[in-house]
Every structure is written in structure tokens, then in C-alpha cells.
Structure 1
Amino acid sequence: MPAYSDAPLPVGLDALVGMGMNRVKLAIAVALAEHGGCLSTPELIAALGEGVAGTTIARNLNELEDHGYVTGDVPRDERRRRRTHWTLNHANLHADLRALIQATTPSGEPPTVTG
């Protein structure tokens, strides 16, 4: 098992570690945004296509939820065999991405943040 680094990060960037920036998490965020910010689990699975296993989507949704990027309308311990609707918390995602832009903008340059 690989050992993960505890490298120091600027304040406000810890949550982005949870985003993981993997393809599934990014695709989930985009699919939710494209569909008005909310989809049920089966709708999300359909939106992502047959190339992504439902279990992979569920695992990534839980990780995104742990970091505040999505919210399920059913409590986690009550989801078995119940349809969950997922809402993208775009304000949290945007705030963390702005923090990343701020932290990676060279000194003296104004950061270019839109939205």
C-alpha cells in the first residue's frame, strides 16, 4: 500500500485533497451541473454512461460528500435500497478552486478568478 505524504498546504486547500481531481469525481460534478445541480443515483449512473461502474460512482460520491462538494438527501446509513438524490454544492467547490487559484498565482500578479 502506498504511503501518502502529509505535505504542507496553504490554508483553505485541504478540502481539494478530497476532491482528488480524478476523472470520476470531475465527471460527477460536471454531470450534476449540467442537469441543474441535482440527480438521483440512477440518473447520475446513466449520465456518466456505461463506462463507469455504479460502485465506483457510489464510492466517489461518498468521498465528495465527505468533503462537502455534494449532498445526498438520504442519510448515509439509510441509503441501502433507497433512491438518493445528489446535489452539487457548487459554492463550496468554487470557493476551494478560488483558494487554489489564489495560492498558485505568482506574487504581484492579480489572480484571474471569474464566476
Structure 2
Amino acid sequence: MPTLFLPPDMPEGAVRAVEVLGNRTKVELLHLLGQADEGLSMAELATALNTNKVSVRRNLIALEEQGLVTADVPPEQRMYQRTLVHWTINADRVRALGELLTAYALGGTGTASGTESKAEPETEA
């Protein structure tokens, strides 16, 4: 089995961005929630992705832990009640995560306080 290479100097913000944005299911969940006018349930998301609710739930919880999605029912109430939960996207957090990854990929620090990159925009002569 191949060994996973972890760059030693990659900042935590860039690592989080890669973990989230490097996963097709999570990105597709964000895409679907970004298109929705109102929140979507796990069942609606599972149907749209043609997958099971367990997979959707696992990925939604991971996205929620990163602050990228929000549920209309607190986690402690979800555990013990059969409550219909609707999920929404936190567009500002998704945008910020994308900016961190972009800045890091372009030679910046990949941290919230240092999103500038070393790449200079091209100017016309």
C-alpha cells in the first residue's frame, strides 16, 4: 500500500482546504447546498448524489466541523430524536477556504493572516 506523503511545512489552513476541497463528495455536497434556496435534508442530498445517507451524514458532519455547513438542529438534538435536519452552506467560510488554498498554491503562506501570494498579476506593457 502506498504511503501518504505529508509535506512538512504545509500550514494548517492549507491542509484543511486540501482535505475538504480534495474530496469529490464534500465538494459536490457544497455545490448542491450552494444551489439550494433553502436547506436540504440528508435524504435529498443522498438522492441527488445517488448514494446512501450514511455517506452523506459522515461528510456533512466533517463539513460542519470545519464550519462550512450549518444544520438547523443542534448536534445534541440530532442524536436522540428523529428530527428532520436541513443543511445550509456557509458561503463565506467556503470562499475563505478556497482563498487560503489558492494563496498557498501561488506561493503565499496559506494562513488566514497571510493569504497574499508571491505571484504577481500580469501587466500590459
- Name stretches of at least 5 consecutive residues in structure 2 with no aligned partner: 108-117
What's the TM-score, normalizing by structure 2?
0.71
Question: What's the CA shift string for 1:30-73, capped at 9, x where partnerless?
Answer: 1111212621222222222x3x1110000000000011110111
Alpha carbons of structure 1 residues 37 and 27: separation in structure 2 relative to 1, 3 Å: farther
Give me the whole-angstrom Cα distance separating, in 2, the residues matched to 1:89 and 1:110. Answer: 29
Please show how residues 47-66 of structure 1 align to structure 2 within 5 Å: 47-48=48-49, 50=50, 52-66=51-65
Query: RMSD of the TM alignment (CA)?
Result: 2.6
Give me the whole-angstrom Cα distance separating, in 1, the residues matched to 2:18 and 2:102. Answer: 15
State the identity %.
Answer: 31
The letter of the residue matching 1:32 is L
What's the TM-score, normalizing by structure 1?
0.77
- Name stretches of at least 5 consecutive residues in structure 1 with no aligned partner: none
Q: Which residue, out of 70, 85, 110, partners 2:121?
A: 110
The letter of the residue matching 1:57 is V
Deviates more, 1:80-89 or 1:8-17: 8-17
Deviates more, 1:67-76 or 1:4-13: 4-13
Give me the whole-angstrom Cα distance separating, in 2, the residues matched to 1:89 and 1:21. Answer: 18
The residue aligned with 2:110 is none
1:96 aligned onto 2:101 = no
CA contact (8 A) 2:68 2:89 kept: yes
The residue aligned with 1:79 is 78
Question: 1:11, CA displacement in angstroms?
Answer: 6.1
Question: 1:17, CA displacement in angstroms?
Answer: 4.5
Give me the whole-angstrom Cα distance separating, in 1, the residues matched to 2:119 and 2:23. Answer: 31
